[in-house]
Amino acid sequence: MIAPAVPEDLLRRLAPQVLGALVRRYGRFDACEDAVQEALLAAATQWPSEGRPDNPLAWLIRVASRRLTDLLRSEQARQRREDTVARWAPVQPTQAAETRDADDSLVLLFLCCHPALSPASQIALTLRAVGGLTTAEIARAFLVPEATMGKRIGRAKQAIRDSGVPFGMPPPAERAARLAAVLHVLYLIFNEGYATTSGPRLHRADLAAEAIRLARMLHRLLPDDGEVAGLLALMLLTDARRPARTGPDGSLIPMEEQDRSRWNAQYIAEGVALVTGALPRGTTGPYQLQAAIAAVHDEAPDAASTDWPQILALYEVLLSISDNPVVRLNHAVAVAMVRGPRAGLALLDELDGRLPTDHRVPAVRAHLLEMAGDAAAARDRYAAAADMAASLPMQRYLNGRAARLG
């Protein structure tokens, strides 16, 4: 019996399982990834007219293995590779196979975040190999030509191949550091989706959704890891505000002015439950603390009810374990909300030079100057921040704030 055509999200969910099966067997990440992409394309074109097969995973593995045979034949390894493929029976949907496929997805995440790759290459390869996005989709997300992104992904695959790293979980000595890289890559993907750094749109909902999907997968595979749970909670609690973050014309609405009835209550409840369950277990990490801060914001019925002293206390703890300029910037805002704008401005003075090209520093300074009653200085800082922002909606928002102050 032929099943109905499959939606695109199922193809993306199956992609890392198919790739993992091929790479585990052959150890050729670059060739296997090309074969999987061709199999996904075949599914996208054939299933709508022929119907979805009863076992989509086995179908994709079978087609990908055939494509791989063709690719390897062109590399003058015809007989040896074909014999290997001929001896391999397609994976059947048993419980053991499903467990291995899940493990393969995790291995792929670790492989894509190999330390030999730059962060930009780690992001691109993760979105391609694990997220199932096409090169064109990834290029559009980061506003670069498709050819440029294709070369970046090609270099990343070549670096993986040249490293000689076997397909499998990294040894225990490397695992913790590699997991940190995996979490950081997913965090960067989400941030680019939620607050696009450049271009005409304020956010890329599809990119944020993909980061959440991958974080959910990672959480299912590592349910007892507090930082994995913390990152997923942070994404959910942040993305919950997205429906109220823009007006009908796409303009930015700051959190204090948002209609909170439009926030995603289901995401908030799930995120709060995740971070509440994670915090008591083991060592508290930065993603858990950021999620806790987001939860305090999300649980406030209105901006005036926000528990800023609790947020400030959480930032103090976060600073003790993750002292970086962005955390210090947010800490300065929390200090201003608890102790007054001048106290926050004093902390901003200490940040001068640490984020020289980031529009958020002059934007925060403008906001605090406006709170302190210095309209002229605030207007100048808003205008300076607008000049530094690469996002068009952010530029319009900051210029609007400057114009409002005369």
Summarised one tens digit per residue, pLDDT across range 267-298 is: 999 999 999 999 877 789 999 999 999 999 99
Percent of the chain at pLDDT > 70 equals 90
Residue 3: pLDDT over 80: no
Q: Is residue 277 part of a domain?
A: no
Task: Convert the pLDDT of each residue in 55-65 to its tens digit.
Answer: 888 898 888 88
Boundary-marking domain end, from 48, 76, 91: 91
User: Per-residue pLDDT averaged across 328-348, rounded?
Assistant: 96
Residue 83: pLDDT over 70: no
User: Per-residue pLDDT averaged across 232-247, rounded?
Assistant: 96
Residue 394: pLDDT over 90: yes
Q: Is residue 385 part of a domain?
A: yes
Q: Is residue 248 part of a domain?
A: no
For the chain, the domain total comes to 2
Boundary-marking domain end, from 91, 110, 135: 91
pLDDT value of residue 74: 65
Q: Is residue 404 part of a domain?
A: yes
Backbone dihedral region of 150: left (phi > 0), alpha (psi from -120 to 50 degrees) or beta?
alpha
Residue 248: pLDDT over 80: yes
Q: Is residue 114 part of a domain?
A: no
Boundary-marking domain end, from 25, 56, 91: 91
Q: Is residue 239 part of a domain?
A: no
Q: Is residue 81 part of a domain?
A: yes
Residue 87: pLDDT over 60: no
Q: Which residue has the higher pLDDT, 332 or 194?
A: 332
53-58: long-range contacts, CB 8 A cutoff, minimum separation 24: 53/2, 53/3, 54/1, 54/2, 54/3, 55/92, 55/93, 56/3, 56/6, 56/10, 56/14, 57/14, 57/17, 57/18, 57/91, 57/93, 57/101, 58/90, 58/91, 58/92, 58/93
Contacts of 281 (CB under 8 A, 6+ apart): 224, 226
> What is the reported pTM?
0.78
Residue 2: pLDDT over 50: no
Q: Whole domain around residue 24: which residue ranges?
A: 1-91
Q: What average pLDDT does the structure give for the chain?
A: 84
Backbone dihedral region of 11: left (phi > 0), alpha (psi from -120 to 50 degrees) or beta?
alpha
